[in-house]
Amino acid sequence: MGVEPLKIEIPHHLNRHELFVPALKDLCVKVVAENFVLQPSFGSLDKENKAKVVDLLSLELPLELVGPVIEEEVYWKRRSQSRWSNCELSAHGDSWKQLYFEKNLAQTLENFDPVNEDLEELKRLLAFSSPWVYNLNMKQLPSHMDLQVLLSPSLLSNLFFMKLTYGRHNVGMDYEQSLFGMKLSDCVSLARALEWTETLTYLNLSSNLLDDDRVKMIASGIAENKSISHLDLSHNKIADRGVKALASLLDRRSVLVFLNLRSNQIHVEGGRAIARALKSNKSLLSLNLSLNRIGDEGCRAIIEAATQNESLTTLNLSATAAGESSTKALGNLIRQNTSLARVDASCNDFGEEGGAIVSEALETNKTLQSIDVRMSNVGENHEKAISEMLKSRFTF
């Protein structure tokens, strides 16, 4: 195929057009780039010329072809930016190639239509994207496809982070409640998938309208799993029965490090179940129970259990309707516990007495780095005293 030479015009007063014969190198670079589909290889080309070819490569080249061959981040940056604005590189391992494969896969899954599209094609996409897909973040999954396919280690063998919300983009006036949330069948397939996955470490099922039955199903899958260390079930509808199932996951064999149950419907009994689990659990580092109406009794039980717990470093009981007996327990915790570094007890009702208890207990504690009692009626003076004490401890 012929390659057109460069034409450069000399300014008018010289009254002449000069034409340059391009270097053979440049002619070849163009031809290699244009025919890359037929010959997807750089051979033993040196870095400089390889970069020149890559610069000219089409962004429409089939993914299956170029994935294994093109490592150059410049190419994947161009390709990513042509498809999406606001690319957040840090969410994708700081790699444009990873970003492209992960976002491409997530988008394909979000829009997969099992009626009109072929599942085998999707599986192929999963398989050849696998080397570069570590995180998946999906905001909708209207196909409600079998999650065992998605989490199959033979397809996506590197997946370690998954955030899945069964929502719906741009619904507008077509809103229907049935379009949102995880179905029981989804929980079943997820539970089965979780039994087999060995790579999934972070699972985020926030905002899926999960109720007790659904959570119990999911918990049964996690019980068989030894890879998940971070579990986020915030913003769901989990009540006491569901929480009891989760609490049973926190036994001596548990590998769960981070549990987020913020904004659910946990009450006293749920709180007590968690407290019981905390007594023997050795894996949990961070527990978030904020925005659950656990009540004073439940919170007191949790705080008492946390006092003896030697692994927990972060505890969030913000807005849990904790009150007087919780403050007394909190005082004991601060005096005795040496592993907790951060406690959030804001938005409760401790009163001035509570403020006094906390600031007095803080004097002997050497390990707490932050304790938040704002909006808990402890009074301005105590709030100030507490914050001063902590500040002075950790300023150099």
Partner 1 sequence: MSKENTVRLISAEGFEFVIDYEAACVSNTIKNMLSSQGSFTESELGEIKFPEISTPILEKVCQYFYYKLRYTNSTHDIPPFDIAPEYALELLMASNYLDT
Task: Catalog residues that contact partner 1 under the rule CB under 8 A.
Answer: 1-5, 16-21, 23-25, 27-29, 31-32, 34-35, 38-39, 41-46, 49, 53
Token pair, residue 38, equals 């037929």
Residue 28 CB, shortest distance to partner 1, in Å, is: 4
Residue 51 CB, shortest distance to partner 1, in Å, is: 13
At position 326, the amino acid (one-letter code) is S
CB-nearer residue toward partner 1: 43 or 172: 43
Report DSSP state, residue 23. Answer: P
Q: Mark residue 13 as left, alpha or beta (left: phi above 0; alpha: psi -120 to 50; beta: remaining).
A: alpha
Residue with tokens 């069948």: 185
Residue 14 CB, shortest distance to partner 1, in Å, is: 13
CB-nearer residue toward partner 1: 42 or 101: 42
Residue 58 CB, shortest distance to partner 1, in Å, is: 14
d(CA 395, CA 121): 58
Residue 113 CB, shortest distance to partner 1, in Å, is: 37
**Which residues fall within 8 angstroms of residue 91, CB to CB, at 6 or more apart?**
99, 135, 137
CB-nearer residue toward partner 1: 1 or 115: 1
**Composition of the chain by helix, strand, coil, percent to 5:** 45, 10, 45
At position 9, the amino acid (one-letter code) is E
The DSSP-derived string for 118-161 is -HHHHHHHHHHHGGG--EEEES--TT---HHHHT-TTT-SS--E
Token pair, residue 139, equals 């905001």
Residue 11 CB, shortest distance to partner 1, in Å, is: 17
Residue 36 CB, shortest distance to partner 1, in Å, is: 9
CB-nearer residue toward partner 1: 5 or 62: 5
CB-nearer residue toward partner 1: 24 or 173: 24
Element (DSSP H or E) covering residue 7: strand 7-9
| 230 DSSP β-pair partners | 202, 258
CB-nearer residue toward partner 1: 48 or 310: 48
Which of 347, 350, 342 is CA-nearest to residue 371?
342
Token pair, residue 280, equals 């023997």
d(CA 257, CA 254): 9
Residue with tokens 């849990």: 320
CB-nearer residue toward partner 1: 51 or 268: 51
Residue 66 CB, shortest distance to partner 1, in Å, is: 16
CB-nearer residue toward partner 1: 57 or 99: 57
* Residue 221: other Cβ atoms inside 10 A: 21
Residue 70 CB, shortest distance to partner 1, in Å, is: 15
Residue 242 DSSP SS3? helix
Cα–Cα distances (Å) from 142 to 114, 122, 359, in that order, read: 9, 15, 52
Residue 65 CB, shortest distance to partner 1, in Å, is: 15
CB-nearer residue toward partner 1: 38 or 115: 38
CB-nearer residue toward partner 1: 32 or 321: 32
| Torsion angle, alpha carbons of 11, 12, 15, 17, to 10 | 50
Cα–Cα distances (Å) from 382 to 97, 375, 388, in that order, read: 52, 12, 10
